[in-house]
Structure 1
């Protein structure tokens, strides 16, 4: 009889097992769930995960399971890649759906040319989330992650993001962690999961009755009092109990008396005082050489390759294999069918810690050297080399050759390893310049542009060349110091060895920096030189940058037609692909131009392409693309869709500072809908950065409407009008003229005729230069509100304070309302002004009709504050609501859904994934996810499956 190593037994965890079953069934039925398993080492977390996996497998779920490893915390996506079966090595077992993700993790895509891990990691994260979305749409999925306390930060971010939208997917996310998180990232994940309502299963020590049951199962008979007393020292830790019983048995101190297991009289031998000691004593059966082999294998990691281990240790393969076989028999190792692994991390930790630190260090260095010679994946080699000490010349040579791949796959390993290599070299060593260049790039990839700048400037004291200056320019750009990026470009252009194509790329990049700095003349010259030099050497990237810069400059002048044509030329130049380190996005520029030309359908498609492009490449213009889509939705009246775009834009990287504009647009909607809460949503003052200068007008617009809502139209006008007077550059009048409808109304209400006339004159000049439907209608509205005043018609109620005298504008205002077709808010604002003018002219019936039209428009937008203001103004003139306008959309039920949400719901019912819906509707996956969440809330449903049932019932009832 020998207890050996038992198969998983679920003793004393009946409540947890019951909850496991409930959560699995819930996820399998379509409503996702999150479970967090916490507890001390050996308490049974992995065993509980076994229960999750078994239950989910019986329910037909796709089970994705893996564990984080302490030696891979610096390797991006190591944890999630293991769970998804997408290891970054050359023999990834990715299927067709996961092939692109596997390539990204190996750094094989064009993103390898990027200068920032943020680009690469964002693109990889989006690709993983899209893959999980497709798998979840195809059928229920269980993602089970063990030892998350060692997870790498990018994997932690993926888990965060999966949890955000999990309720709408048939996805069960289970993570297990030791009670005390070892990193802030993991601690943040635990807090986030808990805040989102994750089921927290904290495994406490087993009670005495459960310990007795466990011992009985291990020995196949009950334990006597003395044995139970000895086992009690395990403190209810199941693994410790198992190891103690096994130690007692192997030391022959357990005897059977009348069918009860009891200790014999030979109890003087010391028993293991801790779990670690109990594990270590499992090695007693091995000879010294065998113990050394296992201890050294433990240092090298949780998985064991017999051939590699033999090479690293210099031991015969036969000897190593015999040791591994005996370790399997003793329950120290497990053969998974693909590799040998330690049965539990505690076993590996106990064995590894038994070796002195100096021995472990030398062993890791030796392993790195052997693996490098064998052509192992660069990240595995680097993990071991980094744990070593001094690098020899051969290893430095390997690092020079493999630095590009290592930086892309694992920048957090590359940075310290490159620094160590440079410290080991003489400054005049031929390898030093290459290593210094690689270090700058690695620091950029590691998200530390300040350190990258310092390293680049230090390297420039001895090294030269365009590549180093290109990286320095990028480091300055990523810190928002665009003026210094321009200076670096100018220095690079003085290099005699610079090719025309390289010069063109420096000029093109500088042109964009100069555009954002509003140094337009210098930007014009740089952009033209980029085109000229790029064409001279047929460098498509330089030509594309130049045309894109010229497009931005024409845009800044308000010439949207030329800007659009130049954006198309840039796209044509970039037809072979856009290098990620160029920070260029012709799709967003083209969409922006089309938006300003009121070509909304084309802009919609172009901006959807911009979103996809930036998601795929980790581009810096993703938030801008969302901001532009939100602006378009505000104009065409799909405000709920605008809010979804805003939410998506705020939930991602924002290196160009689009957040002020996104938040201001959300505030504009909230103010007009009467839901704005100043104490919770206070708008910060615009700063001097690109985002503050570009979107400062939106912030002022929201602040002005807020002041008007507080009954201070004069202050509102004084706050907003200077924005129009000083408009130039990034926020020039051709872009911000949408504020003019509110400005003209405010000027008319407070009787500021001078400003009203100025608005009319300036908007007419803009419309004459390059007319569009919206701009022409705006000029007409402003002119109508600036007409010379006349005495009002007699009214039994008189003229209320703050109402303007009547002018000759009523019919002009009605024309403006018709001209704003397709712009629901502006059509309603013009109808409101027409109603006021008609009432003042004594045309009461027409005023009532115009008021009804205005209120119907406001109701369609749920703009309750605008509606209340319009009714109050007309009430003071003796006009009340006539025919009932369109009522506000209900808050719940199918009638509460917007048109977009209705379309999304129908496609969900068809079984389409969020990425598929996004592609069909020119949306992003994140935006679709937001819409699905809104649909579930409005229909009071809990899953996509219930949406499908509801759609089917609705169709059958129709």
Structure 2
């Protein structure tokens, strides 16, 4: 396929060709093409598409539509081919999700659905990139819907690692959302191609190309009036040629005398309208009306809207095709250029434009057109008649899932026009649409207003549920409890709903640390749910009971109840009713040292929450990061932390993620970030439980000589652990080893004894290998008993807590050296240093060396070296597995599924691998891996 003729843009064309070649070879890039309408942006995209196709890239091309700004994912969906039937199963799955097919049966909102669709689209593009290089070209981004802008923003993140070229074209003055995308891409290093007016030499070349000869003096002066604007210039030349006003003579193209007498139009709009001057007025008006209704023209649909015979309309379309106003685009006709359509549309008075849109919407409602197609016209129209209102109510479920923004605007307009008798359903749907649109504050306000007016008890109950869900997802659990309390006090609350309201109330009170109230509400949820045969209500109650047993320290019973809750709730939980039962089950397994099982359960919970945009994503990543922190897989932990911090955090688990990241940085001797919580209780109950992480980080940074001060600062976190605003002893005993060391260094026998007593009590009540190891360590440090410390090291090894195993070996080496057993001490030091090296815990290596040197123990020349920072030896075990799967051609979603990770986590791993290996793309990584395998 030959590249289209494109005069005067050689530098820009070569720049994009170079980026396309780099993307085809594995190093991706994002490009912004900016320029005024008609300056050549689309032609540059045409040239780029041709070059990408020549390079064997998968080319996806599309343009945003001004009438579709209220339809989520319309621009990116059209570009990626998600709106058409396909045999590609991965593409078809995303298309089904985009159409809302998994949620159309819901009678309530599935908040964060757009988050789930975004992740699915990114997964699809990632899968394509694993199969070969991809080019995504989007024109007219200034009109793109917000959801498509988010996808493009995310697509540009880390793009240099992928065989992916993303080119977006936009006019310079764009609305705020589109301007934000352009800024974000530029901030990440996207190339900016600004198309200015053509220079004089290029204008001469373009005229020569079109006319077969260079312009003479009079023609040169006329074309100079186009200001180097390519589209204006080509339209001007076309008009002159059509009128026969150009004569080529003696190797030069010049104006005829007739042209000088007739005069030429003064503007591009006049030029376009003059092109249609040969048509009768009625036909010109028809084309103007078609322009109002959008770029694409469906002849049968337009005939119905204009109440015109199809044959009559077809004759007009054939004339417009001959005039070059429209072109054949396959299933539809299209205006040849956006400027042509805009010029025609602008000639229609505003009142007529809105009337046309309203008429189009009314016609389409009765023709079975898609709800989003109907909505785009109704939104651009004005008043809604009775038949359209009936359509709006009947189509609300589908419209809300596919175009929540359009649904919000139409429902607001309808509510302003209908009587109170018809307002109930409309208000309910408006609340749902606002939640689907993620406008939670507005949804809350509308829900409160609707509840105060609605006499229907069933609909009011559903509104209460939506209001609670909107509050919960904003992290406002206390207000959700108030709503549940009001709902439960209503005399006409449907009996079948009472159990669910009690269950929701119990869940909120649990997160508020109101444990007695949560227990009472959970019992009522089970009672009402059992009476009504509602497994969801029973499951909610059991889940809260499981959480309470967990908090009280009976983790085994918490696990049993959480597993019962899974059975009660079942697998078909609706997206707007996420219970979190698998999350708690994973937490219990983690506390019981059943790490492999915890890994699997949390992976399943992550996949489910990603699919439906559930509220527990940050918490799941925090649990997975905690598991990897304990096991010493710190690069993996950091990947989980990075992924978790990108999600909404209604439960306030961000401080946990940031706190773990700070601890890892300290152990590695890296600059530590600022404290996540400055003062206890500043962030409320949700964040107060993580204050101890900041205190822990501060004492780790202190000098050994200040052990007494550090103990005074840190020990209260343990003393008050049973208070409602803190985590219980059974959950946070992982701080005890550092507390025991501080107590031993400070000579504080009372606190050391208190630690011994409490950890041994916990270990006796709830057997877990890590608890037993911690009790042994605390007693060993208090008594200076090397044998107990060696036993603790062995137990920590058995449960997989690698950092703690290393620290116990270090403590044992100190105790052995103190009693004169230097060879065993040296051996224990070696084991500790081997583990520290594997974790890259340079601060711990330095401390261990210093402690043992003072006792006459040195590791010698054969001691472990510092872990490499670069090369294949620097990769962690997980990174080696990820690298191997990348080299095998697997996409990030495929790798994530195989390793029980999220796609975002895999992406973090790939970025880390590339940095360590000094390569720039997945292709270079694959080459390096194959070379390494061949050399082995």
TM range (shorter): over 0.9
Structure 2 equivalent of residue 953 of structure 1: 931
In the TM superposition, what whole-angstrom CA distance separates every residue of 1:492-549 from its partner, at most 9, and x where no partner exists? Answer: 2234444443222111111110101111122112222222322333222222222222
Query: Which residues of 2 match residues 151-190 of structure 1 at below 5 A?
Result: 151-183=144-176, 185-190=177-182
Q: 3-state DSSP class of the match of 2:542?
A: helix
Q: 3-state DSSP class of the match of 2:277?
A: helix
Query: Which residues of 2 match residues 882-897 of structure 1 at below 5 A?
Result: 882=860, 884-897=862-875
Distance 2:509 2:376 in 1: 42
More displaced stretch, 520-529 vs 487-496: 487-496
| In the alignment, structure 1 residue 814 sits paired with structure 2 residue 805 | no
| In the alignment, structure 1 residue 674 sits paired with structure 2 residue 669 | yes
Given that 2:677 and 2:691 are in contact with CA atoms closer than 8 Å, whether structure 1 keeps it comes out as no
- Of 379, 390, 415, the residue aligned with 1:386 is 379
Summarize the Cα distance change of 1:310–1:373 in structure 2 as closer, same or farther, 3 Å threshold. same
Question: Alpha-carbon deviation of 1:559?
Answer: 1.2
Question: Alpha-carbon deviation of 1:275?
Answer: 2.6
Distance 2:875 2:885 in 1: 14
Distance 1:883 1:509 in 2: 62
In the TM superposition, what whole-angstrom CA distance separates every residue of 1:140-174 from its partner, at most 9, and x where no partner exists? Answer: 21111111111111111111221113222222111
Given that 2:473 and 2:615 are in contact with CA atoms closer than 8 Å, whether structure 1 keeps it comes out as no
In the TM superposition, what whole-angstrom CA distance separates every residue of 1:643-701 from its partner, at most 9, and x where no partner exists? Answer: 1111111123323222211111111000110112447x776556334541343322322
Structure 1 equivalent of residue 454 of structure 2: 463
| In the alignment, structure 1 residue 225 sits paired with structure 2 residue 217 | yes
What is the count of residue pairs matched by the alignment? Answer: 925
Distance 1:820 1:697 in 2: 23
More displaced stretch, 393-402 vs 769-778: 393-402
Given that 2:822 and 2:857 are in contact with CA atoms closer than 8 Å, whether structure 1 keeps it comes out as yes
Summarize the Cα distance change of 1:575–1:457 in structure 2 as closer, same or farther, 3 Å threshold. closer
Distance 2:77 2:105 in 1: 19
Structure 1 equivalent of residue 778 of structure 2: 782
Q: Give RMSD over aligned pairs.
A: 2.1
Structure 2 equivalent of residue 792 of structure 1: none
Given that 2:111 and 2:575 are in contact with CA atoms closer than 8 Å, whether structure 1 keeps it comes out as no
Question: Alpha-carbon deviation of 1:868?
Answer: 1.5
Structure 1 equivalent of residue 414 of structure 2: 421
Distance 1:7 1:830 in 2: 68
Question: Alpha-carbon deviation of 1:132?
Answer: 1.1
- Of 366, 390, 393, the residue aligned with 1:373 is 366
Given that 1:160 and 1:192 are in contact with CA atoms closer than 8 Å, whether structure 2 keeps it comes out as yes
Distance 1:123 1:455 in 2: 25
- Of 833, 852, 861, the residue aligned with 1:874 is 852
Question: Alpha-carbon deviation of 1:828?
Answer: 1.6
| In the alignment, structure 1 residue 481 sits paired with structure 2 residue 476 | yes
Structure 2 equivalent of residue 272 of structure 1: 265
Structure 1 equivalent of residue 432 of structure 2: 441
More displaced stretch, 556-565 vs 809-818: 809-818
Distance 1:112 1:226 in 2: 69
- Of 275, 289, 299, the residue aligned with 2:292 is 299
Question: Alpha-carbon deviation of 1:115?
Answer: 5.6
Distance 1:545 1:525 in 2: 13
In the TM superposition, what whole-angstrom CA distance separates every residue of 1:198-236 from its partner, at most 9, and x where no partner exists? Answer: 222221211111111111111222211111111111111
Q: 3-state DSSP class of the match of 1:670?
A: helix
In the TM superposition, what whole-angstrom CA distance separates every residue of 1:415-455 from its partner, at most 9, and x where no partner exists? Answer: 1211111111122x2x2111111112222222222222222
More displaced stretch, 510-519 vs 7-16: 7-16
Structure 2 equivalent of residue 748 of structure 1: 744
- Of 694, 709, 714, the residue aligned with 1:720 is 714
Q: 3-state DSSP class of the match of 2:576?
A: helix
Q: 3-state DSSP class of the match of 2:165?
A: strand
Distance 2:314 2:534 in 1: 57
Q: 3-state DSSP class of the match of 1:173?
A: strand
Distance 1:140 1:189 in 2: 23
Structure 2 equivalent of residue 142 of structure 1: 135
Summarize the Cα distance change of 1:851–1:746 in structure 2 as closer, same or farther, 3 Å threshold. same
- Of 591, 594, 600, the residue aligned with 1:605 is 600
Question: Alpha-carbon deviation of 1:106?
Answer: 1.2
Distance 1:657 1:611 in 2: 17
Distance 2:677 2:667 in 1: 15
Structure 2 equivalent of residue 628 of structure 1: 623
More displaced stretch, 939-948 vs 743-752: 939-948
| In the alignment, structure 1 residue 260 sits paired with structure 2 residue 252 | yes
Distance 2:476 2:52 in 1: 52
- Of 191, 199, 203, the residue aligned with 1:199 is 191
Structure 2 equivalent of residue 240 of structure 1: 232
Give the gaps of 5 or more residues in structure 2. Answer: none
Summarize the Cα distance change of 1:495–1:898 in structure 2 as closer, same or farther, 3 Å threshold. same
Question: Alpha-carbon deviation of 1:247?
Answer: 2.5
Given that 2:659 and 2:676 are in contact with CA atoms closer than 8 Å, whether structure 1 keeps it comes out as no
Summarize the Cα distance change of 1:882–1:384 in structure 2 as closer, same or farther, 3 Å threshold. same
| In the alignment, structure 1 residue 47 sits paired with structure 2 residue 43 | yes
Q: 3-state DSSP class of the match of 1:612?
A: helix
Distance 2:662 2:501 in 1: 39
Distance 1:415 1:843 in 2: 77
Distance 1:43 1:776 in 2: 73
